[in-house]
Amino acid sequence: MKTELNSMKWHILIIIIVCILIIPVVFAVSNSFKTLADAFSNMFNIIPANPTLENYIHVFEKLPFLQITINTFFIAAIVTGFKIITSLLAAYAFVYFHFRGKNLLYFVLISTMFIPFTVIMIPNYLTISCMGFRDNLWGVILPQLSDALGIFLLRQSMRTIPRSLIEAAYLENVSDFKIIKDIIIPLVKPALISTGIIFFINSWNEYVWPVLVLKSKENYTLSLALQMFISAEGGTEFTIAMAVSVMTMLIPLVLYIIFQKHIINTFTMSGIKG
């Protein structure tokens, strides 16, 4: 039975969680439409006293903003695509094949999740330097073509597929790649989407690695652009930074709206039924 939620403590808990997660977003959107003076006098007013677009206009004047957005999207899309493909194939191999050293290999792969990114940052930097990818979007992308988290999440999801479905396909002499395409992908779609979202957003947010690789403004990503307007004291560029923030949010938001139905299903449904 689902009991009605009637005790106070649960309500308070959920309200606190929502506040922690939602309020900063509202704050950013609201301040991006304020003048600097307005922002400093009424920082926590949700509705701007004198709504203005000047912060946005300033950003577009100062930076090749469209290019920066495209860069960020390009990196995130390619990285996500590759990570998903490699994770899917590796997870399939780990779930449905026997091979020598399989458990050891899986163990090693999972161990890499424990290695802080900073450890592999410099080796990766040197590698892509050697390959001539400094200040190049591909330099950001290349070391990020696979991800143990994706292998783990997709493997977990594949294990919920009744093995008899795969066996039914074996009986029809279906090849592995066709099984992946016709059966596995449709059935792990929720996990694929959620894993994809995690990869995409992580790449979108990335700062440390792109700042190392990318030098010229026309190669910047959104987080680098944002950093330009941030001064620790909140300074004179505060509302502009808010505008960059909001624009950073734009593409994920548009994607979210486009794929809304799938995403909601993904995060609401559990596994495979019937």
Partner 1 sequence: MKDIIFDHVLKAYGKNVVVKGLNLNICEGERLVLLGPSGCGKSTTLRMIAGLENITDGQLYMDGRIVNDIPSGKRNVSMVFQNYALFPHMTVEDNISYGLKVQKVDPREIEERSKAAISMLDLNGLEKRKPKELSGGQRQRVALARALVKRSDYFLLDEPLSNLDAQLRVHSRKELVKIHEMYHQTFVYVTHDQVEAMTVGHRIALMYDGILQTIDTPSNVYNRPANVYAARFIGAPSTNILEANLNEGKLIMAGQHIVPPEVWIQKMKENGGDMFYFGIRPEHTKITTDYMDNALKGIVRYTEDYGNKVGVYFDINGKELISVCDNNVPATGEKVYFTPDYSKIHLFDYKTENSIGYPEDLSKHNYGVVYELRGRLAGDRS
Binding to a second copy in span 189-218, by CB under 8 A: 194, 197-198, 201, 204-205, 207-208, 212, 215
Tokens of 89: 């194939």
What distance in Å separates the CA atoms of residue 195 and residue 179, rounded to the nearest whole number?
A: 20
183 binds, among partner 1, a second copy, none (CB under 5 to 8 A by kind): partner 1
CA-nearest of 128, 159, 132 to 145 is: 128
Tokens of 217: 């403004």
Listed in sequence order, the residues at least 6 apart from 115 whose beta carbon sits closer than 8 Å to its beta carbon are: none
Tokens of 206: 């990335």
Enumerate residues 105-164 that contact partner 1 by CB under 8 A.
Answer: 162, 164
Which of 60, 131, 132, 160 is in the footprint of a second copy by CB under 8 A? 160
Q: Are 272 and 160 in contact (CB under 8 A)?
A: yes
* Residue bearing tokens 């300074």: 235
CA-nearest of 202, 176, 197, 209 to 263 is: 197
Provide the greatest CA pair distance for the chain. Answer: 72
Could you tell me the smallest distance in angstroms from the CB atom of residue 263 to a second copy?
A: 7
Enumerate residues 3-22 that contact a second copy by CB under 8 A.
Answer: 3-5, 10-11, 13-14, 16-18, 20-22
Which of 50, 66, 114, 273 is in the footprint of a second copy by CB under 8 A? 114
Could you tell me the smallest distance in angstroms from the CB atom of residue 189 to partner 1?
A: 8
Give the nearer residue to partner 1 in terms of CB position, either 131 or 168. 168
**Segment contacting partner 1 (CB under 8 A): 38-46, 172-180, 209-217, 229-237?**
172-180
Binding site for partner 1 (CB under 8 A): 1, 3, 162, 164-165, 167-168, 170-174, 178, 182-183, 186-187, 272-274
